[in-house]
A and B are shown apart, each in its own frame.
Chain A
C-alpha cells in the first residue's frame, strides 16, 4: 500500500486498536492532523496544554492497561510534553508519543520551532526514534508500541519531520516485530522459584512486599490467591495500592515514608522479604543499611537492573510477576499458613498500638475525613487520581481501594499538575466509573486549563480540592525541619475556585461542613459535568506517620495521642 507518512501514523494507530489520542496541533505535525480530520476510527481529545495531553494519555494507559497515545508538534509543543514523558518513564507507563519535527532539510539549522527532541527525550523515555524516511515508519511505529507495552513498560517517543509525513512510501504493518537486541525475559527460572519457595517455607516471619509491577503485569488476582493460600501478610507500595482489597485480612497497609506503623515495623522485623515488582525506592526503604536488616530477600522483577540495585537479592528472579506467581502457586501447598499465626498476631498488635488514624476536629473538616467519606460514598464505583502533596498521601492512606488500576497517581516523579488531566484519561478509558481527582490548592492550578477540555469533551472529572491554603507538603517539612520558617508556601491569596470552574462551564462547590460535603458530592455525581469541590480543611494538618528522609523505617514520627477530654 502506497500512502503518505501522515496516513501511516493513522493506519498504525488503527491497527494497534487505539481509540483515543490526546494532543495539540502545530505546524510540524499538521499533515498528520489533516489525516485525523479525515478519519473516524478514533477520537482525538484536544487538551489545552501538551503536558496535559501526556498526563491524560498516562491516566488512560493506567486505567485501561493499554498503550496511551499522545501527539504534539515540534519545538515548544514537544518541550511542554517532556514532563509527561519523564513522569511516565519513572512510573513505567506504556505510552507512544508522536511529535512533529521541522523538515529534514532544515534539521540542524536552528529552524523555526526546531529543537533536538530526541536528544531531550533520550534520558526520559524507554526508547526514541527520529524517523528520516517514510519507508521506515511502519516498522518504527510497530516497534514503538511493542517496546512501550512489553517487558518493563515505558514511554516511547517518535519524532517525525514534516517532509517525512508528506512522503509517499510503502506501508506494510503485517510484518512481525523483529528486534534482535530486545528480548524481555518473561519467564522466571523454575529452579530459582523452587529455591525461593523453600526459603519461604523455612522462614518464620515472611512478608510480601507488593509493588507497581503487579499492576503492570495484571497479576493482582494471582497475587491475592498466593497470599490467601500461604497466609503470609503483605505490605503495598504506593504504586501497588489496590493489589489487595483494603479489607483483606492479610493486607497490613502501605509502607514507607508515610506508611503505617504496622507496615514499617513488619518490614523491619521480617526475616524474609518477598518483593514482587517493587523497586526498593528510597521513599520506601528509608535508611538502606537498616532496611529489613535481618531478612533474606526474594526479588521478582522483569527488569534485571532493578534487582540488587539498592538491596542485595538472595533469590533474584527475573521474569513477569504473573508468570512467576503462577509457578509459585503450583508450589503453594509446601507452605503451611498456620506457621505464621503468631507473626500475624505480632503485626496485628503493631496495628492496634498505632493504627492509621487522625483526630477529628469540631471546627474545620479534616482532609483525611474527606478521603474516607468519598470511600464510604463511592467506594468501588470510583477511580481515584491524585495530584502531588499531602492530599496525595492521605488518598493513598485512607481510600478503601478494592481493585488494581483504581488508584492513579504520580509516584516516581511526583508531578504536581498530573491529577486533573490523568483523571480525564481515566474517565475516557473507564467511563462507567466516577473519576475523582484528589488535589490541592497548589496542584490544581498547574493544569487548571483542562477545565476547558473536560467541558468540551464531556469528561466529568470531580476534582476534590483539599484546600489548606498552603503548599502543604512543603509546609509540613518547613514546620518539622526548618523551624517553622514557611518560606513561600503560604497560599492565602487564592482564586475563587467555584467561579473559576463556572467560568469554563463546569460546576463548583465550596464546602465547610460534612453535610455540605455529602450534598456537593452527591450533586456533582448526578450532574455529571466537570466539577470543583473546594473543601476548606485544617491548614496545619501533617501527614503521619512520617519517616524523616534518610531515617530508618522503625523510627517513625507518629500521630500524637489525643489527650482525653472529659
Chain B
C-alpha cells in the first residue's frame, strides 16, 4: 500500500474542562499520528474551546484521526478543512546591530512589522499563511535571528 501523506488542518470543538487537551494529545501519540502544530483557546461566551491541529497522513489515516477525535466524549465537533483561511504568527528577535530598515521592509512584506526595540535587540512580528511564514523565516536567516517563536496555525472555513 503506497498511500500519499498530505498535510491537513483539523479544527476540534471541545468542552472546556480539565484534561481535555491531554485526551487529544494522548490520542495522537497513542495511535502514532503526527502533530505539526496545535493551538487552543476558549471560544468567547461558550463552554467550549477550539483547537486547530495541523497534521499529516494518508487519506485513511486522516479519516481515522477525525473519527477517533469524534469518539472522545468531550468532543463536540470535528472539522476537516478543505477550503479555508489559514494564518500563523511568528515573532523573531534580532540583534540591534542588524539593518533595521531591511528587517522592517521584510516584515512588512509578510503582513508584519517591528513590534519592539530594546537596547540590544529588536523584535519583528509577521502574520501570514504558514507556508509564507516559512519563506519569511528563511529570508531573514542572514540577519542572524537569535530566537524564533511560531504560534502554530489557526484556521477558519471559508
Q: Which residues of A contact B (CB under 8 A)?
A: 118-119, 122-123, 126-127, 130, 147, 179-182, 289, 303-305, 308-309
Give Cα A305 to B61, complex, Å.
11
* Inter-chain contact A130/B73, CB cutoff 8 Å: no
| Nearest B residue to A124, CB-CB | B30
A128 to B30, CA, bound (A): 17
Evaluate whether A303 and B76 lie within 8 angstroms (CB atoms) in the complex, with A118-B19, A123-B26, A308-B60 already known: no
Instruction: Find out whether the CB atom of B73 lies under 8 angstroms from the CB atom of A182.
Output: yes
Q: Is B76 a contact partner of A304 (Cβ separation < 8 A)?
A: no
B-side contacts of A289, CB under 8 Å:
1
8 interchain residue pairs of minimum CB distance? A305-B67, A181-B76, A127-B73, A182-B73, A123-B30, A304-B67, A305-B68, A122-B26
Is B132 close to A, CB under 8 A?
Answer: no
* B149 on the A face (CB < 8 A): no
Q: Chain B contacts of A304 at CB under 8 A?
A: 67, 70-71
Residue of B whose beta carbon sits closest to that of A122: B26
Q: Is B146 an interface position by the 8 A CB rule?
A: no
Instruction: For the complex, give the distance between the alpha carbons of A147 and B72 in Å.
Output: 11
Q: What DSSP secondary structure best describes chain A's contact surface?
A: mixed
Chain B interfacial positions (CB closer than 8 Å to A): 1, 14-15, 18-19, 22-23, 26, 30, 60, 63-64, 67-68, 70-71, 73-76
| B73 neighbours in A (Cβ, 8 Å) | 126-127, 147, 179, 181-182
A147 to B74 Cα, complex, angstroms: 12
Would you call A130 and B19 a contact (CB within 8 A)? yes
Bound together, the chains give a CA A180 to CA B76 distance in angstroms of: 7
Q: Residue of B at shortest CB range from A310?
A: B60
Looking at the assembled complex, report how far the CB atom of B41 sits from the nearest CB atom of chain A, in whole angstroms: 18
What residues of chain B lie closer than 8 Å to A303, measured between beta carbons?
71
Considering the chains assembled together, what is the distance between the CA atoms of A181 and B68 in angstroms?
14
Closest to A312 in B: B60
8 Å CB contact of B74 from A118, A181, A305, A309: A181
What's the Cα separation between A181 and B75 when bound, in Å? 6
Nearest CB in chain B: distance from A506 CB, A: 41
Q: Given the known A-B contacts A118-B19, A130-B18, are A305 and B64 also in contact in the complex, defined by CB atoms under 8 Å?
A: yes
* Residues A308 and B63 in contact in the complex (CB < 8 Å), given A130-B18, A130-B19: yes
- Please give, as numbers and ranges, the residues of chain A lying within 8 Å of B18 by CB-CB distance: 130
Nearest-CB distance from B115 to chain A (Å)? 37
Return B151 CB to nearest CB of chain A, in Å.
27
Give the docked Cα–Cα distance between A308 and B18 (Å). 32
| Bound Cα distance A305, B18 (Å) | 25
Residues of B within 8 A of A130 (CB): 18-19
- Alpha-carbon distance A303/B68, docked complex (angstroms): 10
A53→B40 CA distance, assembly (Å): 39
